Amino acid sequence: MQRLVIIGGGFGGLWAAMSAAAERHRQDLTPGDLSIELINEGPDLVVRPRLYEGAKPDICVPLRPLLDVIDVDFCQARVSDINPDARTIGLAATAGDAERNYDRLILAAGSRLKKLPLSGWDDYAFSADTFADAARMDEKLAALALLPGRPTIAVVGAGFTGLELVTELRVRLGAEARLLLLDPAAAPGARLGGELAPVLAEAFAAGEIELHAGAVVTALDGGGLTLATGQRLDADMAVFATGLEASPLTTFIGGPRDKAGRLHADAYLRAPDQPDVLLAGDTGRAMTDDIHPTYMCCQHAIQLGRFAGANAVRDMRGQPLQEYRQERYVTCVDLGPAGAVLTTGWDRRVEKTGTAAKTVKQQIMMERIYPPDPAVGRAEIFKATGL
């Protein structure tokens, strides 16, 4: 029996599992011929793009019911190490069996917020990086609401996550908060594309968000932040959205990597130095076309998972692999009271704004990026792989 093991139950890992099971089915193989196992530290797929909304229960989707329908084994465990030469995976002692063997491995362990070297980070830095982080943020916001006066909340980082965080905070808190947005760029949000600048300016005005451009945080404490210029900004809470780094499990796999720690994948999503390992989600840097690399986002993670799952099965069976491609790129950013903004293309041309874009955003967040309901059955789940 051949064994495919997938590490990670996020978008890349779950879609890899569905795609691998679909490919196994297309080839008239049984689980006895080729077993597929997904290992994840938690029991759920966490719909991470929605965490800026807070720790809502429907953001967590149980993995096991869906995997059971498609005959994929599930192991809830923390992976402690990977030995690609021996084709083994070490699991934390609480997982029972301490080791797994594999014929092919899909590494889809995701990414995490990059920790900044600031004193006070562990005590005073908040984020919406994980469900637990979002719950901790919710608790702090609830505590601030009970205090007299108007709290000041600083959001550090004006990428997509930071924009959604700060504008959603205005929706959640109403006028009863002072909101600051800090970014090291000369114009917060400018690096996201020139057409977005006027849209963002309107959103900042609608949300009464105070901008601090060229702001580099050098110190953090319970009363606020200190910038590289020496300026002190008083704040009751600091929320960071300052970039991601790939899972540390990537360090067990040899090969070149980018500045975020992602391993460079070949055209078929294999790790060049370890062709028995395929990469999906935020662990791999792949080329969507001849020019553009993938971003660390769910739309790329899902498609990477689809190709990685099918290719892993094909590779084990000695069959030609499919070259990964994803030439269409779309963004839809929630802007709180200002609605949202929908862009298309790598130059992020603005297509919709306001309530029209907000409708699309809600469809994406509540429907399009969710996995199929297990109740739809095996055939419909396989169709969702799209290959």
Task: Give the model's confidence band at 96: pLDDT under 50 very low, under 70 low, under 90 confident, else very high.
Answer: low
Task: Record the pTM.
Answer: 0.96
Residue 128, CA distances (Å) to 49, 112, 134, 164, 331 in order: 9, 10, 5, 11, 19
255 shares a domain with 223: no
Phi, psi of 356 (to 5 degrees): -65, -45
Range of the domain at 211: 121-240
Do 125 and 223 sit in the same domain of this protein?
A: yes
Q: Quote the DSSP letter at residue 116.
A: P
Q: Are residues 234 and 248 in the same domain?
A: no
Question: Pick from 212, 240, 268: which residue ends a domain?
Answer: 240
* Domain CATH number, residue 40: 3.50.50.100
Structural domain includes residue 226:
yes
For residue 199, being part of any structural domain is answered with: yes
Residue-wise pLDDT tens digits, 156-190: 999 999 999 999 999 999 988 999 999 998 888 77
User: Do residues 254 and 378 share a domain?
Assistant: yes
- Residue 358 located in a structural domain: no
Residue 11 lies in a domain: yes
pLDDT at 306: 98
Given 190, 219, 240, which residue is the final one in a domain?
Answer: 240
Give backbone dihedrals phi and psi of 29, rounded to 5 degrees, phi first.
Answer: -100, 155
Measured CA to CA, the distance from residue 261 to residue 245 in angstroms comes to 6
My answer on whether 254 and 163 are in the same domain is no
Domain containing 201 — which CATH number?
3.50.50.60
pLDDT computed for residue 190 by the predictor: 77
Same domain, 11 and 78: yes
25 falls within a domain:
yes
Domain shared by 157 and 223, yes or no:
yes
Whether 330 shows a pLDDT value over 60: the answer reads yes
Burial of 180-189, coded b for 16+ CB within 10 Å and e otherwise, reads bbbbbeeebb
pLDDT exceeds cutoff 80 at 343: yes
Among candidate residues 182, 211, 240, the one where a domain is terminated: 240
Contacts of 363 (CB under 8 A, 6+ apart): none
Q: Which range, of 55-69, 83-97, 143-157, averages the lowest pLDDT?
A: 83-97
With cut-offs at 50, 70 and 90, classify the pLDDT of residue 192: confident
Predicted confidence band of residue 94 (pLDDT cuts 50, 70, 90): low
Q: What is the mean pLDDT of residues 29-58?
A: 97
Q: CB-based burial of residue 93 (10 Å sphere; 0-12 exposed, 13-18 middle, 19+ buried)? A: exposed
Residues 211 and 132 occupy one common structural domain: yes
Mean pLDDT value across residues 137-159: 95
271 and 221 in a common domain: no
* Residue 103 domain flag: yes
Tell me if 333 sits within 8 A of 326, measured CB to CB.
no
Specify if 338 maps to a domain.
no
Question: Are 257 and 301 within one domain?
Answer: yes
- As for how many domains the chain has, the answer is 2
pLDDT of residue 186: 84
Domain membership of residue 336 (yes or no) is no
In this prediction, residue 93 carries a pLDDT of: 64
**92-101, 267-276, 300-309, 333-342: least confident range:** 92-101
- Cβ-in-10-Å burial (0-12, 13-18, 19+) of 63 comes to buried
Taking only the tens place, the pLDDT of each residue in 269-311 is: 999 899 999 999 999 999 999 999 999 999 999 999 999 999 9
Other residues' Cβ atoms within 10 Å of the Cβ of residue 194: 12
Same domain as 182, residue 270: no
Task: Clarify whether residues 76 and 178 are in a common domain.
Answer: no
